[in-house]
């Protein structure tokens, strides 16, 4: 993929033909857009990206979160530079390295999956490995989306003078994108960053595919969907959740208000321990991690639904006291 011609201000060097420059600019812009979209989607939930960095074993020098932020900064830098058609060697070669690295990662995951070496998703084991796109699909999608565009971008390489205005824009976009990713966990972006938002039907929340041997949707997890239901997604050891246990119990005892369900992807032993330790008056429903994780950035997260449609969402625990205030019947008994 070495450059076949260069653009220079030297009048004695013949400029490459128009089609080649156009194809190069188009490839550059396309690849830049792909990188920026990827960076943006990861910036919405940098903690999940940090987890992925850890899962890939890329946190050997710095923590997963720091590596994630540095990777995002690099992606913003190269993505913006390519989008602005800066076809310099110091942009194209790092971009090629980044693309090669992405393809390597997806290829390695495909290999590990084929050898049965990937760990199973947390949960009861009912569903095997639920995947939205198979490792093979991920590999081929990355390869076909990025490599041809990268090859086109290399058709012509710019030389001479510094594109100062464009560099300033690249710098600003990189700083802004990285700062956004840094602060994103504190911003109220859950409805925007996840698939769980008001108005969505819960039977649209699915993981896996029938073609791969298993698809499970939220309507199979919840025993019923008609009527009003309050759903809390949580880790069973989450302090915020455990702190609200008595309010949740009171809501159940009140007999009024929405029906309460708690979703968790905890392993069987953890659920068993919880069941016999905390005196919960509600059912904890085992939910596979691949089904639940696209619905939150941090746990706990909660939502109210009616007849299978999400009415309201909360980052954290729901305002149980408000629901209790709505109910007319006081707590019936003290155990």
Partner 1 sequence: MTQHTSPRSSLRRAFCTAAALACVVFPSSAIAQQVDSIFRGFEPTGELQLEMNGSTVDGAVIYRSHRAASYLILGDQLSSPVLLNIRSQRVERVSFLKVKKNDDGTVDILADAAFEPMGSFKLGGQEVRFDLEGQKAVLAPKPPLLGFQTAVALDKHNPAYGFKAEEYQAKTADVAKLNGYGKNTRIRIYFGSWCPVCGRIVPRVMKLQELVDNDNLDIEYYGLPSPMSDDPIAEEQKIRGVPTAVVYVDGVEVGRLNGSELTAPESSFANMLADK
Query: Which spans of this chain sit near partner 1 (rule: CB under 8 A)?
Result: 120, 124-130, 203, 206, 208, 210, 212-217, 219-221, 223, 249, 252-253, 268-269, 272-273, 275-283, 285-286, 332-333, 335
Closer to partner 1 at the Cβ: 160 or 213? 213
Separation between Cα atoms, residue 142 and residue 139, nearest integer Å: 5
In the complex, minimum distance from the CB of residue 40 to partner 1, in angstroms, rounded to a whole number:
31
Q: Residue 139 and residue 145: Cα distance in Å, rounded?
A: 10
Helices (H), 115-244: 135-153, 164-183, 190-193, 218-221, 239-243
Residue closer to partner 1 by CB (options 171, 243) is 243
| Residue found by looking up tokens 């490839």 in the block | 27
Closest distance to partner 1 from the beta carbon of 170 (Å): 46
Minimal distance, residue 210 CB to partner 1, in Å: 6
Nearer of residues 37 and 268 to partner 1, judged by Cβ:
268
Minimum gap (Å) between residue 19 Cβ and partner 1? 48
Sequence-distant (≥ 6) Cβ neighbours of residue 177 within 8 angstroms: 39, 40, 43, 72, 73, 76, 80
User: CB of 307: closest distance to partner 1 in angstroms?
Assistant: 15
Q: Which is nearer to partner 1, 20 or 271 (CB)?
A: 271
User: Which residues make beta-bridge pairs with 263?
Assistant: 233, 285
Residue 82 near residue 153 (C-beta atoms within 8 A): yes
Q: Which is nearer to partner 1, 48 or 121 (CB)?
A: 121
Backbone angles phi, psi at 100, to 5 degrees: -60, -40
Nearer to partner 1, 93 or 272 (CB): 272
CB of 203 to partner 1, least distance (A): 8
- Give the integer Cα–Cα distance in Å for 121 and 289: 6
């Amino acid at each position: 993929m070495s450059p076949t011609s260069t653009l220079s201000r030297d009048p004695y060097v013949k400029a490459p033909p128009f089609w080649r420059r156009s194809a190069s600019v188009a490839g550059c812009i396309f690849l830049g857009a792909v990188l920026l979209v990827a960076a943006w989607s990861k910036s919405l939930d940098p903690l999940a990206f940090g987890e992925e960095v850890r899962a890939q074993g890329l946190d050997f020098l710095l923590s997963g979160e720091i590596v994630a932020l540095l990777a995002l900064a690099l992606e913003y830098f190269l993505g913006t530079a390519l989008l602005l058609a800066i076809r310099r060697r110091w942009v194209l070669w790092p971009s090629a390295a980044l693309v090669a690295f992405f393809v390597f990662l997806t290829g390695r995951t495909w290999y590990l999956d084929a050898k049965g070496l990937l760990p199973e998703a947390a949960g009861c084991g009912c569903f095997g490995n639920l995947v939205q796109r198979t490792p093979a699909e991920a590999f081929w999608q990355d390869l076909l989306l990025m490599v041809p565009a990268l090859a086109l971008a290399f058709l012509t390489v710019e030389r001479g003078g510094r594109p100062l205005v464009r560099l300033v824009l690249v710098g600003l976009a990189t700083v802004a994108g990285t700062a956004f990713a840094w602060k994103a966990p504190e911003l109220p972006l859950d409805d925007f960053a996840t698939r769980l938002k008001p108005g969505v039907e819960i039977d649209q929340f699915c993981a896996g595919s029938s073609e791969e041997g298993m698809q499970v949707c939220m309507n199979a997890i919840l025993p019923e969907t008609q009527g009003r239901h309050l759903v809390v997604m949580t880790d069973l050891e989450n302090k915020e959740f455990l702190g609200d246990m008595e309010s949740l119990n009171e809501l159940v005892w009140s007999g009024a208000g929405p029906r309460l369900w708690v979703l968790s992807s905890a392993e069987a032993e953890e659920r068993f321990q919880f069941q016999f330790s905390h005196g919960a008056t509600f059912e904890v429903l085992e939910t596979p991690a691949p089904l639940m994780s696209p619905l939150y950035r941090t746990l706990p997260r909660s939502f109210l639904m009616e007849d299978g449609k999400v009415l309201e969402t909360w980052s954290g625990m729901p305002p149980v006291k408000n629901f209790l205030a709505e109910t007319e019947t006081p707590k019936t008994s003290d155990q």
